[in-house]
Amino acid sequence: MKKYSRIFRYVGQYKGDIALYFLFTLLTIAFSIVSLGMLMPFFNLIFEVGEPAIAKSVSNPALGFIQASINEVLQKHGKVYTLGIICLFLIGAILLKNLFLVLSYYVLNPLKNKVVNQLRTELYEKILTLPIGFFTEKKKGDLISRMTNDIGEVEGSVVGALEGWVRDPLTILLNFTVLFLISPQLTLFVLLFIPVVGFIIGQVSRSLKHQSSEVAQKNSDAISVLDETLTGLRVIKAFNVESLLRNRFFTINQNLLLTKNRMGYKRDLASPMSETMGVIVFCCILYFGGRLVLSGSTWIALPAALFVNYLILFYNIITPAKALSTSFSNMQKGSAAIARIEEVLQTPNTVDDNPSGKKLEAFQSSIELRNVSFHYDGVPILKNINLKVSKGKTVALVGSSGAGKSTLADLVPRFHDVSGGELLIDGVNIKDYSLKSVRDQISIVTQEPILFNDSIENNIKIGKQDATDAEIADAAHIANAHHFITKKDAGFRTNIGDRGNKLSGGERQRMTIARAIVKNPPILILDEATSSLDTESERLVQDAINNMMQNRTSIVIAHRLSTIRHADEIIVLQKGEIVERGTHEELLSKKGYYHRLVEMQEVK
């Protein structure tokens, strides 16, 4: 049961609710047994069983008390009146049983919803805290599948079985207790069959876990294809590859169908099998109990009315036993979903938040990398990097694709932690600061604008939620965005759609610059924001970047070398190492790697 420990931990937080549910369930079962127990005096009354037979049927004190009370009413008021009392007693017991059943649901259903909600929240929070490197290995569709399909599976199978974990075993236990009081010999005979039934059903249930893992994986593959289709729809249509994507999705979907069918066959087998086994046991009871009724022995004989009552109580066990076997099968199915969720929740966070660390109140002097190296999955990305960025200076990172420019820049906001050496801010190791205080000092403008399906205003102030309308408008002016924003029907309150698709590329990029300006950080990291823009948009965005960089410390990842001519220092990276450094003029005079890059771009 260790795999369900997280669910049990969540449930354990609601001990009061569990105690109430247990009490209401106990009362529900008790009144159910009482209502069925009233059938014995009913049968005695209807079949006009004589006093000797009644005496035999009341060897148990509880049953004897009920029968004695009925006999007293019978002697005083006659059979018809007694029959009415029995029926009223039955109605009262059933009403109380259902009242406590409703109360148990009233307590349990919110508890189940809280457990699922807590699991979903914890998974989302874990995704938010995981380092950037984790997401380079995982498909987005796979993570979405874990958040939706797998949690849905846990909700339907494991959390949904919470009700049965308490009610069904308790029902079986209490009913068996009453059955034992009625006839110990017959009940011991029944108990011999229980391990055999449990073993047969367990064999079917255990095979469900492997197939559940297959279904979860194929579900995530299908969602990944859907995500790629929606993201790349223009390319798909432009290259006429609809059939390729259709066939890919069809194959995954068809495999998913076959696996779900196989799993469904086995899951659906559990309930009929348990019912069949129950009927077999029931027939054995009919035979063995019938012999006890027909027996002439005084110490093991069973009155007919009590035997019928015994059969009804036993049949009352078959439904919860069947439900318990189904719940067990579903739990085996849900355990695969829990394992996939736990894989994410147990992923170690390689970038420690260090909330108790020193707070970086303000950036004072410099960012320094000393003998920094970085490895990813054993592959060296950066080697022996020594670099100092003084406050107010602009440092540009250039080099071919894969040289390590973005990785080096990602070390500053601690998207990754260095594998060797140390990164210092104002002379203090960055790991000694709290992560939040470090990132409060930094704004990033990425090459691909990343915006959210919200209003222009909310996107701009996302880094500073308390920004005033005047601050937002000023940032838009500096970013050359105010003109196009005010032309929108709803102005700053215009919704920009999914990923900002209602805006042009240049408009999106200027909005990300406005967002960085509103935050007003001392440190900027710019991943060349103009490389994918047309000439007019490039000029507007570059002007906005120049405005933003004034009086700030900037690390610029440069693709177009013409944009970093005035950088205070240009760092040339090749295969993760610094091969050249200096100003634009100094590097040109060396006639080295940077000179060749400039010549290639000028030729273009």
**CA 337/CA 591 separation, integer angstroms:** 59
Least confident of 16-25, 262-271, 332-341, 435-444: 262-271
More confident residue, 230 or 380: 380
Return the H-helix or E-strand segment holding 253: helix 242-294
pLDDT computed for residue 548 by the predictor:
78
Burial of residue 405 (number of CB atoms within 10 Å: 0-12, 13-18, 19+): buried
Return the H-helix or E-strand segment holding 509: helix 505-519
pLDDT computed for residue 103 by the predictor:
92
Determine the length of the chain. 604
Least confident of 176-185, 362-371, 401-410, 484-493: 176-185
More confident residue, 555 or 191: 555
The closest of 590, 586, 598, 589 to 559, measured between CA atoms, is 598
CA distances from 556 to 253, 406, 523, 529, 593 (A): 45, 10, 11, 10, 18
Q: Which residues contact 442 (CB under 8 A, 6 or more apart)?
A: 412, 413, 521, 523, 524, 525
Q: What's the rounded mean pLDDT across residues 277-302?
A: 69
Least confident of 93-97, 456-460, 550-554: 550-554
Give all strands (DSSP E) within 245-378, no chain letters.
Answer: 366-376
Report the mean per-residue pLDDT for the chain: 79
Q: Which pLDDT tens digit goes with each residue over 493-503?
A: 999 888 788 88
pLDDT computed for residue 301 by the predictor:
57
Contact 588, 598 (CB under 8 A): yes
- Measured CA angle at 110 (ends 106, 111), to 5 deg: 110
More confident residue, 245 or 239: 245
Question: Is 344 a residue whose pLDDT tops 80?
Answer: yes
Amino acid at 365: S
**CA 387/CA 382 separation, integer angstroms:** 12
Q: State what percent of residues in the chain have pLDDT above 90.
A: 9
pLDDT computed for residue 50 by the predictor:
47
Residue 320 corresponds to which tokens in the numbers above? Answer: 């919860």
pLDDT computed for residue 368 by the predictor:
92
Q: Predicted confidence band at 30 (pLDDT cuts at 50, 70, 90)? A: confident
Burial of residue 450 (number of CB atoms within 10 Å: 0-12, 13-18, 19+): middle
Helix axes 505-519, 535-549, angle to 10 degrees: 10
Task: Tell me the pTM.
Answer: 0.73
**CA 424/CA 597 separation, integer angstroms:** 31
Helical H segments across 38-156, by residue range:
39-46, 51-57, 61-77, 79-129, 132-137, 140-145, 151-153
* DSSP three-state, residue 487: coil
Q: Predicted confidence band at 604 (pLDDT cuts at 50, 70, 90)? A: very low
Q: Which pLDDT tens digit goes with each residue over 514-558?
A: 888 888 889 988 887 665 566 666 677 777 777 778 888 989 888
* DSSP three-state, residue 506: helix
pLDDT computed for residue 195 by the predictor:
65
Contact 286, 311 (CB under 8 A): yes
Question: Is 256 a residue whose pLDDT tops 70?
Answer: yes
Return the H-helix or E-strand segment holding 390: strand 379-390
Q: What domains are defined for the chain?
A: 2-223+258-345 (1.20.1560.10), 363-441+524-531+554-604 (3.40.50.300)
Q: Predicted confidence band at 186 (pLDDT cuts at 50, 70, 90)? A: confident
More confident residue, 482 or 323: 482
DSSP string of 154-177, one letter each residue: IIIIIGGGHHHHHHHHHHHHHHHH
Sign of CA dihedral 253, 254, 258, 259: negative
Q: Which pLDDT tens digit goes with each residue over 45-57?
A: 666 554 433 444 4
Q: What's the rounded mean pLDDT across residues 187-204?
A: 67
Question: Is 354 a residue whose pLDDT tops 60?
Answer: yes
Chain mean position to CA 52: 65
pLDDT computed for residue 55 by the predictor:
40
Helix axes 61-77, 79-129, angle to 10 degrees: 140
Question: Is 371 a residue whose pLDDT tops 90?
Answer: yes
Contacts of range 198-202, beta carbons closer than 8 Å, 24 or more positions apart? 200/273, 200/277, 201/270, 201/273, 201/274, 201/277, 201/325, 201/328, 201/329, 202/328
Sign of CA dihedral 427, 381, 398, 137: negative
Q: Which pLDDT tens digit goes with each residue over 134-184?
A: 777 777 778 888 888 888 888 877 776 777 777 888 888 888 888 887 777
